[in-house]
Amino acid sequence: MDPKRIAFGSLLLSLLIVLGTCDFDRHSHSSSHMMHHMDSATNVFFVADDLKLGKTMPIYFPDGNPNPLSSPYLLPKYEADAIPFSLKQLPNILNHFSFPQDSHKAQVMENTLGACEAKPIEGETKICATSYETLIDFARKILGLETNIKVLSTHRPMRSNSAVLQNYTITEAPERISTPKMVACHTMRYPYIVFYCHSQEGDNRLHKTSLLGENGDRVEAIAVCHMDTSHWNRDHVSFRVLGIEPGTAPICHFFPAENFVLVPSTSSI
Ligand X SMILES: *[C@@H]1O[C@H](CO)[C@@H](O)[C@H](O)[C@H]1NC(C)=O
| Of 165, 173, 227, 269, the one binding ligand X by CB under 6 A | 165
**Shortest Å distance, C-beta 28 to ligand X:** 25
**Min dist. Cβ of residue 216 to ligand X (A):** 14
Closest distance of CB 191 from ligand X, Å: 36
Query: Measured on CA atoms in the order 109, 23, 125, 267, is the torsion positive or negative?
Result: negative
Task: Decide whether 168 or 192 has the Cβ nearer to ligand X.
Answer: 168
**93 close to 85: Cβ distance less than 8 angstroms:** yes
Name which of residues 7 to 66 contact ligand X (CB under 6 A). Answer: 58
Distance CA 104, CA 260 (A): 27
Report the residue number, 62 or 264, with the smaller CB distance to ligand X.
62
H/E run at residue 9: helix 3-20
What's the closest the beta carbon of residue 35 comes to ligand X, in angstroms? Answer: 17
- Cα separation, 59 vs 166, in Å, equals 6
Torsion of CA 25, 30, 34, 36, to 10 degrees: -120
Do residues 21 and 188 make contact, with C-beta atoms less than 8 angstroms apart? yes
**63 or 124: CB nearest ligand X:** 63
Rounded to a whole number of angstroms, the minimum distance from the CB of residue 55 to ligand X is 12
Q: Which residues neighbour 68 within 8 Å (Cβ) at sequence distance 6 or greater?
A: 23, 24, 25, 26
> Residue count at the site for ligand X (CB under 6 A)?
4
Query: Which listed range, 72-80, 160-168, 171-179, 255-263, lies at the site for ligand X (CB under 6 A)?
Result: 160-168
Q: Are 183 and 143 in contact (CB under 8 A)?
A: yes
167 binds ligand X (CB under 6 A): yes
What's the Cα-to-Cα distance from 10 to each of 6, 77, 98, 121, 161, rounded to whole Å? Answer: 7, 27, 33, 7, 30
Does residue 166 touch ligand X according to CB under 6 A? yes
Question: Smaller CB distance to ligand X: residue 111 or 166?
Answer: 166
Residue 152's nearest CA partner among 184, 176, 181 is 184
User: CB under 6 A: which stretch of 124-132, 163-171, 215-223, 225-233 binds ligand X?
Assistant: 163-171
Provide the minimum distance between the beta carbon of 17 and ligand X in the complex, in angstroms, as a whole number. 24
Q: What is the largest CA-CA distance in the chain?
A: 53
Residue nearest to ligand X (CB): 167
Nearer to ligand X, 167 or 230 (CB): 167
Q: Between 40 and 67, whose beta carbon lies closer to ligand X?
A: 40
Comparing CB distances to ligand X, the nearer of 50 and 137 is 50
Q: Which residues bind ligand X (CB under 6 A)?
A: 58, 165-167
